[in-house]
Amino acid sequence: MAEHSPEQIEKVITDSLISFGANADEINRDAELTALDIDSLDLAELSQIIEEHFGVELTSGDVAEISTVGDAIDLVAERA
Is 48 a residue that touches other proteins (CB under 8 A)? yes
Q: Is 44 in the site for other proteins (CB under 8 A)?
A: yes
Q: Which CA distances in Å does 8 have to 12, 33, 50, 53, 57?
A: 6, 19, 11, 10, 17
Separation of alpha carbons 37 and 3, rounded Å: 30
Q: Which is nearer to other proteins, 19 or 67 (CB)?
A: 19
Among 45, 62, 71, 74, binds other proteins (CB under 8 A): 45
Does 41 interact with other proteins (rule: CB under 8 A)? Answer: yes
The separation between CA 27 and the C-alpha centre of its own chain, rounded to angstroms, equals 11
**Binding site residues, other proteins, CB under 8 A:** 41, 44-45, 48-49
